[in-house]
Each structure stands twice: as structure tokens, then as C-alpha cells.
């Protein structure tokens, strides 16, 4: 027998396993297309519902009357104070929550793909804390006009530091990266607290809580402009690079062999996530685990492909944030808690689950 015949004989014994549809390890393709319209509707419904919830006694009809009047659609008979509660407090807050959730989830999904690390998250890798430090620094100096830029610089510095630190530990593994991120974020968090207390004016404790834990209590129309602006200008281009992110599935060399300019792509996309995280943190402080929880949950449902994962993470992140922020501002009425407490309550157990799923490569 010639070697070719030997080879053919070897090839012919192929279909040893017959089709077994119920076998674990098979996933059903195609179902994901429904998620896009379903989640979009769910987001619109969540926003519409969340603005009607709050301590002030306003009916659903009154709330929508105010919004309709502001948009010039209907006449409003409500007092300016009641109208202001809706237009100046609730609506900007809900809209900001949606953008922050979307931005953090998208940043997490992109970072996970680029670092091949399911534990990557703007909070765990120190970007959020770095952004908080940058933001607090310029607030103390008094140049709040550059707040988002300072937060971006802080996020980028923290990211670079985390990745350098992880690399200096040897082969970059998910847990080493998270440990490096822990060092960076703890340090940045301490600096932030120190800066606030050093320059204490008014309620320093509350400020520290809001920056370290993350809160949307201060969200106004400026916050809406910053977060939605970042989401549209940076988030959309990032979300459209899904196919490029797929190429990183088997590492940098494999991506390069698929025609990707690995160095340039990684740099551009990581700067993009730092910009996005910086913009979100500059209005909300360091809200934790959103970038970890949502992309991992969405990936469980629709699988690996980033053309699906990125847009669905954006929608899921927005919905999640609208709900948890509504909970944060109403559950302990009349007091309000920083929303970051709830996201960490949800996120830390998910973090442990992801850790267990990836334990062989810890």
C-alpha cells in the first residue's frame, strides 16, 4: 500500500460518531437573530417604565405628559416643580444609566476578546479606578471642563500599568492580569480617597462613596451628553469591529496569520475602551462588574461570535443598568444607595462562577 492509500484508509473511517442532537457540546445556531429586536424593545420599555418610578408621587400619565410637553407634542398642565422632577432629574438619570451600562458592557466584551481573558473588565483591570482618580484630580484643580478627558487619561494609564505588571509576572494568564488590576485599582482608589479628604469640602464621605462605589445620583443633561456622545462616537465603531475581534480567538499569531495588523488593532481598540470607560466613569464613578457580568452572560446564550456578542452586550448592559439604578434609588426610600453596591452584589458571584469555569488555566 502506498502512503497515499494508507492515508485514504485512515480518512475513510471518519463518521464514527453519528448525529446526536441531544449531545452536550452542541449548540443551536440561528436563534440569536431574535435577541436583537427583543432586547431593543425591552430597553425602550425599561426606560419608559423607569422614568415613572420614584419617590415623588407622579402618575405614569403625568410623567409622559411632561416628556411629551418638553418635546412639543402635547400641552402640559403640571406645575414647574413636578415637571422639573421628571425632566431635570428622572429622565437624564435613566438615560445616563442606559449609556453607562452599555458602555461598560461593551468595554468589557472588547477587552475580553483582545486579552483572551473572560475575566477582563474595566473595573477589575483598574481602568475605572484610574478614571476616577483622573476625574477627581481635575475636579479639585477646578477645571471640570476636561473631566471626561482626565478620566480617559486615568483609565488609559491604569490599563497600561495593569498590562505591564501582568506581563512582568511571566506568561500572561487571566488571574495574573486580574491580580495586577487589583493592585492598580486599589492604589488608584486610595489616591482618589486621599485627594477627596485632603481637600474636604462638604460631604467628603458621600463623594468618596460615589467615586469608589459608583453612583448615578448626579446625572444631569450634561452627563447624558457626555455618555451618549461617547457611546455614539466611540462605542459604535468599537461594536462594529466584531469580526476583527473573532480573529483573536486563537491568539495574536493566529490573528496575524488571518491578515490582522495585531499591534495596531490592539492599540486602537484598547484606547477605545479606555475612552469609553473614562467617559462613563467621569459621570458615574467606578461602577463594578458590569463589563464582566453582561458579556459573559450574553456569551453563554449566543456564543462566541462578536458580531452578535457586542451589540447584544450593549443592549443587555443598558437594560441591566436602568433596572439596577432604579432599584438603587427606590429600594431604600427615602434614602438612596450607590448603584455600584448592587452591581458588585450581582457581579462578585458571577466573577467566582467565571473563575471556576476557567479554573484549569488560572
- Applying CB under 8 A, the residues found at the interface with other proteins are 1-4, 6-8, 10-11, 14-15, 17, 19, 23-29, 116-118, 174, 240-241, 243-244, 246-247, 249-251, 253-254, 256-261, 299, 303-305, 307, 358, 361
Q: What is the rounded CA–CA span in Å between residue 312 and residue 294?
A: 9
Q: Which is nearer to other proteins, 222 or 252 (CB)?
A: 252
Q: What is the rounded CA–CA span in Å between residue 71 and residue 53?
A: 20
Q: Which is nearer to other proteins, 37 or 202 (CB)?
A: 37
Q: What is the rounded CA–CA span in Å between residue 273 and residue 238?
A: 8
Q: Which is nearer to other proteins, 20 or 77 (CB)?
A: 20
Long-range contacts of 158-162 (CB under 8 A, 24+ apart): 158/125, 158/126, 158/127, 158/129, 158/130, 158/131, 158/133, 158/184, 158/185, 158/188, 159/125, 159/126, 159/127, 159/130, 159/270, 159/273, 159/274, 161/126, 161/130, 162/125, 162/126, 162/127
CB of 212 to other proteins, least distance (A): 30
CB of 265 to other proteins, least distance (A): 9
CB of 41 to other proteins, least distance (A): 20
Q: Which is nearer to other proteins, 208 or 247 (CB)?
A: 247
CB of 28 to other proteins, least distance (A): 8
Q: What is the rounded CA–CA span in Å between residue 195 and residue 284?
A: 18
CB of 115 to other proteins, least distance (A): 9
The phi, psi pair for 229, rounded to 5°, reads -60, -45
Neighbours of 170 (CB within 10 A): 8
- Are 347 and 289 a contacting pair, CB within 8 Å? yes
From residue 201, alpha-carbon distances to 24, 207, 277 in Å are 59, 10, 27
- Dihedral (C-alpha) 131, 135, 141, 147: value to the nearest 10 degrees? 120
Q: Which is nearer to other proteins, 73 or 353 (CB)?
A: 353
Place of cell 450593549: 314
Q: Which is nearer to other proteins, 170 or 259 (CB)?
A: 259
Q: Which is nearer to other proteins, 17 or 59 (CB)?
A: 17
Neighbours of 173 (CB within 10 A): 17
Tell me if residue 140 falls in helix, strand or coil: helix
First to last CA, the chain: 47
Q: What is the rounded CA–CA span in Å between residue 80 and residue 88?
A: 11
CB of 4 to other proteins, least distance (A): 6
Q: Which is nearer to other proteins, 71 or 356 (CB)?
A: 356
CB of 207 to other proteins, least distance (A): 38
Q: What is the rounded CA–CA span in Å between residue 132 and residue 48?
A: 30
CB of 3 to other proteins, least distance (A): 5
CB of 251 to other proteins, least distance (A): 7
Q: Which is nearer to other proteins, 30 or 170 (CB)?
A: 30
Neighbours of 148 (CB within 10 A): 24
From residue 71, alpha-carbon distances to 54, 68, 74 in Å are 22, 5, 8
Q: Which is nearer to other proteins, 92 or 295 (CB)?
A: 295
CB of 240 to other proteins, least distance (A): 5
Amino acid at each position: 500500500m502506498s502512503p497515499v492509500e494508507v492515508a485514504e484508509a485512515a480518512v475513510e473511517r471518519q463518521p464514527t460518531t453519528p448525529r446526536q442532537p441531544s449531545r452536550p457540546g452542541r449548540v443551536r445556531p440561528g436563534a440569536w437573530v431574535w435577541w436583537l429586536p427583543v432586547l431593543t424593545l425591552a430597553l425602550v420599555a425599561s426606560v419608559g417604565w423607569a422614568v415613572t418610578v420614584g419617590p415623588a408621587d407622579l402618575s405614569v400619565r403625568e410623567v409622559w405628559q411632561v416628556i411629551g410637553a418638553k418635546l412639543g407634542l402635547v400641552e402640559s398642565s403640571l406645575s414647574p416643580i413636578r415637571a422639573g422632577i421628571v425632566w431635570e432629574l428622572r429622565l437624564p438619570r435613566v438615560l445616563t444609566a442606559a449609556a453607562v451600562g452599555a458602555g461598560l458592557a461593551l468595554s468589557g466584551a472588547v477587552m475580553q476578546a483582545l486579552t483572551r481573558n473572560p475575566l477582563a473588565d474595566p473595573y477589575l483591570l483598574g481602568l475605572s479606578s484610574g478614571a476616577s482618580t483622573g476625574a477627581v484630580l481635575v475636579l479639585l484643580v477646578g477645571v471640570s471642563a476636561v473631566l471626561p478627558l482626565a478620566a480617559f487619561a486615568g483609565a488609559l494609564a491604569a490599563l497600561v500599568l495593569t498590562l505591564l505588571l501582568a506581563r512582568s509576572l511571566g506568561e500572561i494568564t487571566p488571574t495574573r492580569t486580574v491580580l495586577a488590576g487589583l493592585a492598580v485599582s486599589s492604589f488608584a482608589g486610595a489616591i482618589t480617597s486621599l485627594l477627596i479628604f485632603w481637600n474636604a469640602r462638604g460631604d467628603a464621605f458621600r463623594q468618596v462613596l460615589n467615586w469608589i462605589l459608583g453612583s448615578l445620583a448626579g446625572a444631569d443633561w450634561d452627563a447624558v451628553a457626555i455618555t451618549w456622545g461617547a457611546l455614539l462616537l466611540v462605542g459604535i465603531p468599537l461594536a462594529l469591529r466584531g469580526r476583527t475581534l473573532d480573529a483573536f480567538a486563537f491568539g495574536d499569531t493566529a490573528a496575524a496569520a488571518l491578515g490582522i495588523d495585531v499591534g495596531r488593532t490592539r492599540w486602537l481598540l484598547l484606547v477605545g475602551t479606555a475612552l469609553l470607560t473614562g467617559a462613563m466613569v467621569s459621570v458615574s464613578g467606578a461602577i463594578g462588574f458590569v463589563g464582566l457580568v453582561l458579556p459573559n452572560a450574553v456569551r453563554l446564550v449566543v456564543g462566541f461570535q462578536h458580531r452578535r456578542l457586542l451589540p447584544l452586550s450593549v443592549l443587555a448592559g443598558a437594560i441591566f443598568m436602568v433596572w439596577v439604578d432604579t432599584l438603587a434609588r427606590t429600594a431604600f426610600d427615602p434614602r438612596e444607595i450607590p448603584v455600584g453596591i448592587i452591581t458588585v452584589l450581582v457581579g462578585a458571584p458571577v466573577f467566582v462562577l467565571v473563575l471556576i469555569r476557567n479554573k484549569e488555566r488560572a
